[in-house]
Structure 1
Amino acid sequence: MSAGWFRWALDSPRVRRTLAGGLAAVGVASVTTGLAASGTSAGLAPAGVSDAVSAASPFGSGSRPNVVVVMVDDMRADDLRFAPTIRHLADTEGVTFQNSFSPYPLCAPSRASFLTGEYAHNHGVLWHHRPYGYAAFDDSRTLATSLRDAGYHTGLVGKYENGYGGMPSKVTGRSSLHYVPNGWDEWRASLTAPPGAGVDGDTYNFMDIALSHNGRIQDDRDGQYSTDVIGAQARDVVGEFSRSRKPFFLDVAFVAPHAGGPRDPEDPGITADPSRGRYRMPTTYVAKKYRGRFDAEIERGAGLPADGGPAEADVSDKPYFFREQDEPTTAQRAALRTATVQRANAIGAVDQQVGRLVKRLRDLGEWKNTVLVFTSDNGYFLGEHRQLDGKVHGHEPALRVPMVITGPGFRDGAHGRERFDPISTVDLSATVLDLAGAQPPRRADGTSKVTTLLEGDQGWSTGIVTESLVHRKGRRAGFDNARGAIGVRTARYSMMLYRTGASELYDLAKDPREQTNLWKDPAYRSVRRDLEQVWWQLHDCRGAECRTPLPASLAASPEEEADLGHTYWRRIESDYSYRNLPR
């Protein structure tokens, strides 16, 4: 632990309140040896960011940590088994959140939520295409502007928002091809150029990525694997930032394991699909040097049961988008395995780049004062509920994302490597701001998890709003003109209501795979009533409203949420695990 971080802790009003409340009895010496056990109190400012440090901190910006957030694209929570370097960091120097969620499991809305600290219904980015996507994103005030105002250098490398480069900027009303949003000192964002712009590279061409380097187009990466390009760019930026005494924030956004080109002979062919016609499995691209690493261990698609049974035997209680799916054919099962293999190898490539980034931080002497976060913008279906690909829907495979955090003050692991408190994309935004002592750019919907990091689980006391825009028909009360599905996730239950009038309710303590819809089960009438009450409180929430406490019937203590979490993952591991790989 750095001396600067310790000064931060002792000068923090939250820590002083904690000491006054009882930690003083154990003496300051115990705090110096284990801040992870006793770093902060649970107090939060109304905006969701603590008063631990302010931008005008009397001890200067140098004592605040650097923050590096690595966000990949479409990685499931259980895909961490393909990232040994990151798992090792989690086991030896970090914390793994076992209940980490993307409230709107789609690239553009999720990334906008991280950058603003708002749910999608507040920032307005609800899809990839117009009138949504980048054209709907007001990025005049984001995490970057807040952190720079607080004295940080700020940088972004890799994927920004879907449509950046090709859609107009909402801020300027003009082309975003050369546009650099407010707040970024070092801008190296991948882009998709409009037709006729003379740019060949693209965010989703893994062997020809185009970048905007502070507004100047770099389209000279043909033949280079984009994961390697983004990794090298990230190492270059931390090298630049390390020459300054300012702390820095870096958003590293790998495109893998998202689907993209070019196609190669290993990709699955076109298969017949009664519900889709001719169907080609979307796959990522993996550079040849990264292929083959996990091929032998992966026997089937990640979302198909280990016993070889059906993906889901009966979908009659599900909404129409699942009911219309047939059980995967033999060819489709083979395609799911291939897609899983390619995704695993792509994640393995990212894992190596993260390892090289950590080494660079160590070599520069920055690691001891750097918080590193590894996560994904959303999860992904690979066979669950007969869904062969995609995300968007508010079900566990799409909602759950990996979340590993390591940093000074919680690297000794004295109080365990796992956390079961919920953390969502908007909570991550609030947490980064809290660590940096920065003010939120907008009215924050999330809650900082610094207390959970330093002290341990606090309990599951608020619901998570889940959202999507895939069901345009219907007139159900409470729905606006944009969203088609809105749900609430608690420690034990997941409820989703649809504009069409369809409803789903799952008891995850008994049914982690969400096989049985309990909406019409009379035994769950009181649970449904309580969840509907919470739904009405949260479905349009803003700011502090989004942190409305759950009723006692739906809240969970730290012990209860840990028990539910262990039960959930034991069942998922039993049903889906590979014999030669960890979960």
Structure 2
Amino acid sequence: MTSHRTLRRSLTTAAIAALTLSGFLSSATAQPDGVDDRPNIVLILADDLDATTTPVWAAMPRTAQLIRDRGMEFRDSFAPLPICCASRASLLTGEYGHNTGVLTNSGEVGGFETFRANGNEQHTIATYLQDAGYRTGMAGKYLNGLEDDPGHLPPGWDDWNAGVDNFLYTGYNYTLNENGAMVKYGVAPADYETDVIRDKSAEFITAAAASGEPFFWYAASTAPHFPIPPAPRHLTQTVPTAAPRSPNYQEADVSDKPSWLVDTASVRYATIAATNDPDYTNRLGALKALDDMVAGIVDTLARTGELDNTYLLFTSDNGYSLGAHRLTQKMAPYEESLRVPLAIAGPGISAGATDAMALTIDLAPTILSWAGLPVPEAMDGRSLVRPLAGDGTGWRTDFTAEYGGPGADGRNGIAQEQVPGRTPPMYAIDMPSWSAVRTERYLYVRWYERERPLGEREYELYDLDSDPYQLTNLIKTPDGRAEHAATVAALDARLAALHACTGTSCR
């Protein structure tokens, strides 16, 4: 099937670009015969999918074939705010957490209510694109805390299908706010959440293609976030599988780690021994349906004639520890939490891979660039258009990362992601606040950022060239601190500068 836009094209893209650059046409109106030929954009977001331990592309072979192999893989892609709400807030706005004000899932520095109260909903990918004439839509997970205001309809979205309770994580028995109507899904195979999002993706893309409008679609399944199971059709294909045992798995000696980890090391070890392999098995099974969803989206784009004019992005909101350093979940400043898969395919992007350091905050400016829109000065991220073309000249070599912690009562962090009746002990899964700077060589972390005065905080330094699994904290001892004093001073200054940055000064 050929789209209306494909049938009516009479002016080449190159000619339009030339007229636009000459000032004869604006980027928003440079279309021949009233046809809007701007590219479509489809963003597919996994939930808690790491790029360090999980074999993402082997587990999702069609996603690898349809997006990674057709486009550019970013091998150094990071989520600077490695917990769901904070990361998604940064994805939507293109801003670091210290500028959105969202550093965790709830409380004064986290959650949907903080995101809204700080005015972030007025300047998201969706609002910019809708104002520019794009048809916008989403299905799946929005921001933690939306369950407290389930009827809310954020600005910028023409088609809104957001989960409004934590049963979304189970794949069944959840409720979606579908453009203001609360729709309850049950336990039938057809209710499986990732498949519902796949079907809603097909409906939106088909309708948008028929309208002739360029579109932006955001598909946000909770797979493979605990405790979503495999889809029914994949249950027999999902066999018990042990999580990979990397060198930092159940790290034997954590005496050089911050005190919160030292104090809880035994219970964390026991928790991982009991839960990690079943969790990993479920994750691999849930990725099969996510792979199906990606294939379904690409198939719909092809059937409607829109595939060649659509940018496809596949990534995750944050990583996942999978037993590294005796940790479950995410939130940590370590590689397993920070590193996420990122592959982008679309018009003009050649197949390949790059080591350019990409961040979650880069997605919004990249999407606006594709739409022909200026990148707002308030955005902290950089458009990935240059690295996508193979040009890494002058690209970033560091970034800041942070986490707001679980709050004084332990309820502001990972507890906000728990399904009712399944909440594990908080001490086993959450951790204090921190801030960090990650360079090409070093990770420097400052712990208890919100809990303690500066003089009582704890610190870590890792040389990633010689210690990629972050087993040896170089500044745990007095001798280590003395030996690396100059490096720490430089990194501490850089951390201070990045924490004060806004907009263009962050780039």
Tell me, yes or no, whether TM beats 0.5. Answer: yes
Are positions 1:421 and 2:398 aligned together? Answer: no
Structure 1 residue 447: Cα displacement: 0.5
Q: How far apart are the structure 2 equivalents of 1:53 and 1:87?
A: 36
Tell whether 2:198 aligns with 1:231.
yes
**Residues 330 and 105 of structure 1: is their aligned pair in 2 closer, same or farther, counting only changes over 3 Å?**
closer
**Bigger Cα displacement from structure 2, 321-330 vs 350-359:** 321-330
What does residue 89 of structure 1 align with?
Answer: 66
- Which residue identity does 1:208 align to in structure 2? N
- Show the counterpart of 2:224: 257
Matched, 1:447 2:401: no
Are residues 455 and 11 of structure 1, via their aligned partners in 2, closer, same or farther at CA, if it must alter by over 3 Å?
farther
For these two proteins, the number of residue pairs brought into alignment is 451
How far the C-alpha of 1:438 sits from its partner, in A, is: 2.4
Deviations 1:102-142 (A, max 9, x none): 11101111111111111111112222223431111121331
1:398 aligns with 2:354: no
CA deviations on 1:459-491 (whole Å, 9 max, x unpaired) are 543521101012769xxxxxxxxx931111111
SS in 1 for 2:325: helix
Deviation per CA, 1:350-369: give whole Å up to 9, x if none: 01111111011101100000
1:488 matched to 2:488:
no
Q: In the aligned structure 1, how far is the partner of 2:290 from the partner of 2:225?
A: 12
Q: Do the aligned residues in 2 keep the contact of 1:292 with 1:345 (CA within 8 Å)?
A: no
**Could you tell me which amino acid in structure 2 is paired with residue 295 of structure 1?**
V
Residues 183 and 133 (structure 1 numbering): CA distance in 2 closer, same or farther, change over 3 Å? same
Which residue does the alignment assign to 1:244? 211
State the 1:155 CA deviation.
Answer: 0.6
**Cα RMSD between the aligned structures?**
2.7
For 2:445 and 2:16, the matched residues in 1 are separated by 42
* C-alpha displacement of 1:379: 0.5
Deviations 1:204-258 (A, max 9, x none): 2312231111111111444221111111111111111111222100111011111
Q: Deviations over 1:425-481 (max 9, x none)?
A: 1111111111112245671011001111023433543521101012769xxxxxxxx
The DSSP-based 3-state class of the residue aligned with 1:421 is coil
Q: Does 1:358 align with 2:305?
A: no
Which residue does 1:135 correspond to in 2? 113
Residue number in structure 2 paired with 1:504: 460
Task: After TM superposition, list the pairs within 5 Å mapping 1:246-285 onto structure 2.
Answer: 246-259=213-226, 283-285=227-229
Find the counterpart in structure 1 of residue 246 from structure 2: 305
Q: Is the 8 A contact 1:421 1:459 kept in 2?
A: no
Cα offset, 1:545, TM superposition: 1.9
CA positional deviation for 1:301 = 1.8
CA contact (8 A) 2:16 2:30 kept: no
Structure 2: distance between partners of 1:156 and 1:495: 36
Between the aligned partners of 1:319 and 1:489, the Cα distance in structure 2 is 18
Q: Which residue of 2 aligns with 1:77?
A: 51
Pairing 1:30-429 to 2, within 5 Å after superposition: 54-57=27-30, 62-78=36-52, 79=54, 80=56, 81-131=58-108, 132-138=110-116, 139-164=121-146, 166-167=147-148, 176-192=149-165, 202-223=167-188, 224-259=191-226, 283-293=227-237, 295=239, 298=241, 300-302=242-244, 304-305=245-246, 311-323=250-262, 324-326=264-266, 332-333=272-273, 335-387=275-327, 389-410=328-349, 412-413=350-351, 417-429=352-364
Q: Secondary structure at the match of 1:386?
A: coil
- Cα separation, 1, equivalents of 2:303 and 2:208: 14
Query: Structure 1, residues 302-337: CA drift from partner, whole Å, max 9, x if none?
Result: 3x337xx96212111111232231387688436312
AA matched with 1:512 = P
Q: Is this contact kept in 2: 1:156–1:189, CA < 8 A? A: yes
Structure 1 residues not aligned, in runs of 5+: 17-51, 168-175, 193-200, 260-282, 474-482, 548-583
User: Which amino acid counterpart does residue 145 of structure 2 have in structure 1?
Assistant: G
Which stretches in structure 2 are left out of the alignment for 5+ residues? 1-5, 409-431
Alpha-carbon distance between aligned partners in 2 of 1:385 and 1:8, rounded to the nearest angstrom = 53
Cα drift, residue 401 of structure 1? 0.7
Provide the rounded CA distance (Å) in 2 between the counterparts of 1:177 and 1:293: 36
Q: Provide Cα deviations, 1:14-70, integer angstroms capped at 9, x if missing partner.
A: xx9xxxxxxxxxxxxxxxxxxxxxxxxxxxxxxxxxxx9743446677232100000
The structure in which a higher percent of residues are helix is 2
TM-score normalised to the size of structure 2?
0.82
